[in-house]
Structure 1
Amino acid sequence: MTDTPGLLGPAEIRGLAAELDVRPTKKLGQNFVHDANTVRRIVDLAGVGAGDVVLEVGPGLGSLTLGLLGTGARVVAVEIDPVLAGRLPETVRAHAPASVEALTVLGADALRLRANQLPEPPTALVANLPYNVAVPVVLHLLAELPSLCHVLVMVQTEVADRMAAGPGSRVYGVPSVKLAWYGSARKVAAVPRAVFWPVPNVDSSLVAFERGEPRGGADRAAVFAAVDAAFSQRRKTLRAALAAWAGSAERAGELLVAAGIDPRTRGEQLTVDDFARLAALV
């Protein structure tokens, strides 16, 4: 019996892992949520329902998958581990038989996922992401899947702080600016270590993201190249940090002045619109 009907508790998680001979690995960032209340909280904050197609990356043993299916949403679960991907439909059949048809499982690497692999365009991304690839996965999926309007991901708290940081913050950097290109991110809740098995040695937080209007005026690749250059040498002024990107420090200074940016400032002071204005001049 589960501690909550339809959802997995600690005994089910450990039982499934033993049955599949799954030993959570740091390489794949596997820390499985075994607390039903945490799953309910994530699903509630995600705000998904019967009209949504939810993309879940790294469903693992299925805790969050069952919670998402319980809302009436259709779920496309992308799992890189073939053993876990193969077992997930059976888990759903056992705990939520009425939702089996609403689940699609793809054995794939989310970092290489393409839109044409999905049965239909997803409207939301909800996931407990492997911490070592959290930001690259979110950025890749936002670029590849323009239908993704809402995101709620569980990541390492340090990463969550970077994702949601604004200009001038000590942790504002490349992830902050690149996410801001697509919309707005905010940290919405902390997640206790005790709800995971195995217990991670880092703190976790939930980050919510809403896609904004498509940006015009500058090419995304050009903007991101400027962002990468500006933060590659954080302690240098933008005139110096952007020298290689612009061709010379003198040219970088000219472009910055033309964009209305003080060449003596540093990358952490610029908004995504500042970077877009700068990149549009190249």
Structure 2
Amino acid sequence: MLGSGEVRRIAAELGLRPTKRLGQNFVIDPNTVRRIVAAAGVGADDVVLEVGPGLGSLTLGLLPRCRAVLAVEIDPVLARRLPVTVGERAPELAERLTVIRGDALRTSSAELPEAPTALVANLPYNVAVPVVLHLLAELPTLTSGLVMVQAEVADRMAAAPGSRVYGVPSVKAAWYAEVRRVATVPRSVFWPVPNVDSALVLLRRREPPSDADRGAVFDLVDAAFAQRRKTLRAALASWAGGSTRAGAVLDAAGIDPRARGEQLTVADFARIARTAAKLSD
């Protein structure tokens, strides 16, 4: 793993100035890397997908613990440097690393040399939720994940119905997985130091809550939270084709039309979508 001095030395060699646009905040504390790897719980048979490996500190922590690391890096300079760093620091593990130059928001199974089983990543704050949802949808072989995200984003992803921060990210993440916030990460372990704290979020894949169409459920969720102060009957009027039909769908699904989206579980949203589809047949 890389300490503060090593991270800065490599960055200087590369002429690298971390950019806010790419969310480049590098972990400079080896103990934090050890915490992440331990919390991820990956084993000798796992193929780990790491998004945004940066200068390679987390990569170096993962390689001894798993069968392979598939590192997706959007920055071409960092993508070229990562194999060099691993070759210098852990040459006996270099063959376990594959670097994929690309955008995680567009990564598909066809681009990967083998199917990943675990996602472990320090994710850029501005794209954390879209990246997680995209990869869970695109890569069904991912059975677990441990991601470091902005603390507020972690709260939203792991929120339960009724929580003040429960919303679209909470419901959509729950479609794919059980989600828990497991630890807080202070801003002082990063370089450059961000303006917010981070947190670790653990994901465990599970079956979707029903046979409802995922796209239909997600459209429903978006509509329900677009006007979260309104009752579901009012908030879903455009989605359903009118408030009267929205009320009828909700009644048929066994959901109180006076409820609000923040009170519903992902299974409730799935039931509404499935009921709407049946009533349209």
Q: Do residues 111 (structure 1) and 105 (structure 2) align?
A: yes
- In the alignment, does 2:149 pair up with 1:155? yes
> For 1:234, which of 209, 228, 231 is the aligned residue?
228
Change (3 A) 1:220 1:72: closer
Alpha-carbon distance in structure 2 between the residues aligned to 1:104 and 1:217: 36
Q: Secondary structure at the match of 1:70?
A: helix
CA shift digits 1:219-252 (9 cap, x unpaired): 0000000000000001010001000000001110
2:127 maps to: 133
User: Displacement, 1:213?
Assistant: 2.0
**More off after superposition, 69-78 vs 195-204:** 69-78
Superposed CA offset, 1:28-80 (max 9, x none): 11100011111011000101121000000000000100000021431000000
Output one character per residue of 1:155-210: Cα deviation in whole Å (capped at 9) or x when no partner. Answer: 00000000000000000000000011112100000111111000100110000010
**Would you say 1:223 and 2:217 are equivalent positions?**
yes
Q: 1:1-282 residue pairs with structure 2 within 5 A?
A: 7-282=1-276
- Whole-Å Cα distance in 2 between the matches of residues 63 and 250 of structure 1? 56
Q: What secondary structure does 2:115 align onto?
A: coil
Shift of 1:144: 0.2
Aligned residue pairs: how many? 276
2:51–2:122: 8 Å Cα contact kept in structure 1?
Answer: yes
CA contact (8 A) 1:48 1:73 kept: no
Q: 3-state DSSP class of the match of 2:178?
A: strand
Letter matched to residue 200 of structure 2: L
Structural RMSD (CA): 0.7
TM-score scaled by length of structure 1: 0.97
- Aligned-pair identity in percent equals 72
Shift of 1:215: 4.1
Structure 1 unpaired stretches of 5+: 1-6
- Cα contact 2:56–2:85 (8 A) shared by 1: yes
List alignment gaps of at least 5 residues for structure 2. 277-281
**SS of corresponding position for 1:22:** coil
Residue 101 of structure 1 and its aligned partner are, at CA, apart by 0.5
The residue aligned with 2:279 is none
Helix, strand or coil for the counterpart of 2:175? helix
CA distance in 1, matches of 2:165, 2:208: 26
CA distance in structure 2 between the aligned counterparts of 1:63 and 1:252, rounded to whole angstroms? 51
With normalisation by structure 2, the TM-score equals: 0.97
